[in-house]
Amino acid sequence: MSTPSQAQLFANASIGAIDVANRVAMAPLTRSRADMDGVHSELAVEYYRQRASAGLIISEATNISREGRGYAFTPGIYTAEQVAAWRRVTDAVHAAGGKIVCQLWHVGRMSHVSLQANGVAPVAPSAIQANEQVFLESEGFDRPSMPRALETAEIGRLIADYRHAAECAKDAGFDGVEVHAANCYLLEQFIRDSTNQRSDEYGGPVQNRSRFPIEVITAVAEVWGAERVGVRLSPITRAVGDTPLDSDPEGTYFYLAEQLGKLGLAYLHCVEGQTRGDNGAGDFDFKKLHAAFGGKYIANNSYDRQMAIDAVDNGHADMVAFGRPFISNPDLVERLRRSAPLAEADRNTFYGGGAGGYIDYPALG
């Protein structure tokens, strides 16, 4: 067993073209602290700066367009004002010695008419209403609205939105981007046959259901270079309302991972199990998924210190991403290194609000 001084978890590395000081990644964490135009405040500058000792920060999920928004007070990366706000964040992270990528997000059917321009219906691969919960500006949590199915001719517009957001992320000074194809949002809605009932070239067999995500990722890689683009997947994650899985998760995601591997991407970031309740990681062969991808792999979901050390030392993962522990432990890497106690986060301040529960958690000492 490795001692902290020997553990590869705390050694520097390269993830694609991104050099990292350690193998601890900060997972994307929705905190709902932006304004309703998707523009971050100065609080976000301090929040990310405090956590810059992570080897790689993956930003909170960031809307690629107004249409892509599904929760109130989440940031965007498609207007000049949003870019300027994110530039202050990335400058602060870099000044503190950190690296940060922007997670590009379109929620698809996980939205509500009150969040859409002119109150129109959200879009999805198929007109199937989600039975989850989304966070609204004044009503709190509510069920997403009934979506409309995207027309085949609209796919190009969506790819252009992703490309534009990728260009904006470059202007904002990020070190790369992560395409969010997980957690039952738009790209995963196309991937799973439970939420994709299309009959055109974007529905049916896995080759067709994977087409749109691959086209999006390819377009983003043309902006950044593949070696600065990561992808997040969650093969067996169900959303709050028990979103159905694909009928053949391993067949579907092994195929997708193999196709993504051919693009030469920086990394594959996987939620290894459920995001709530029992981890469930044993229900899917993530080692085989990693092998199918063939490149760098970031593991995520319920890892503790020793599990993370072992995962990197035995080659299961190249990095391990921690989510909620970073909320209340801005110096999480140092705490893990020292095997120091972790502070508990106040769940009441996870979403919305101001500085409380956001930038006021102290570091060791």
Q: What is the mean pLDDT of the chain?
A: 94
Strand 62-63 vs strand 56-58: parallel, antiparallel, or unpaired? Answer: unpaired
C-alpha span between 43 and 293 (Å, rounded): 37
Residue that wins the pLDDT comparison between 4 and 16? 16
Over residues 152-176, mean pLDDT: 98
Domain that holds residue 65: 8-349
pTM of the predicted protein model: 0.96
Which positions are annotated as active-site residues? 185
In a domain, 292, yes or no: yes
Domain count, the chain: 1
Does residue 115 form part of some domain? yes
What DSSP line would sit under 182-239, residue for residue?
Answer: -TTSHHHHHH-TTT----STTSSSHHHHTHHHHHHHHHHHHHH-GGGEEEEE-TT---
pLDDT above 70 for 352: yes
What amino acid occupies position 303?
A: Y
- With respect to residue 361, please indicate whether it lies within any of the assigned structural domains: no
- pLDDT over 50 at 275, yes or no: no
Give SS3 for 325: helix
Average pLDDT value for residue range 145-158: 98
Do the domain assignments include residue 354?
A: no
Percentage of the residues of the chain whose pLDDT score is greater than 90: 90
pLDDT band at 281 (very low <50, low <70, confident <90, very high): low
Residue 104: CATH number of its domain: 3.20.20.70
pLDDT in tens, 11-46: 999 999 999 999 999 999 999 999 999 999 999 999
Query: Locate tokens 């062969």: which residue?
Result: 285
In a domain, 244, yes or no: yes
3-state secondary structure of 165: helix
| Residue 259 maps to a domain | yes
Q: Tell me: pLDDT of 216 over 80.
A: yes
Taking alpha carbons only, the member of 252, 270, 217 closest to residue 104 is 217
Q: Is residue 128 part of a domain?
A: yes
**Confidence band (pLDDT; 50, 70, 90) for 243?**
confident
Residue 168 domain-assigned (yes or no): yes
> Average pLDDT of 321-345?
97
Least confident interval from 57-71, 125-139, 197-211: 125-139
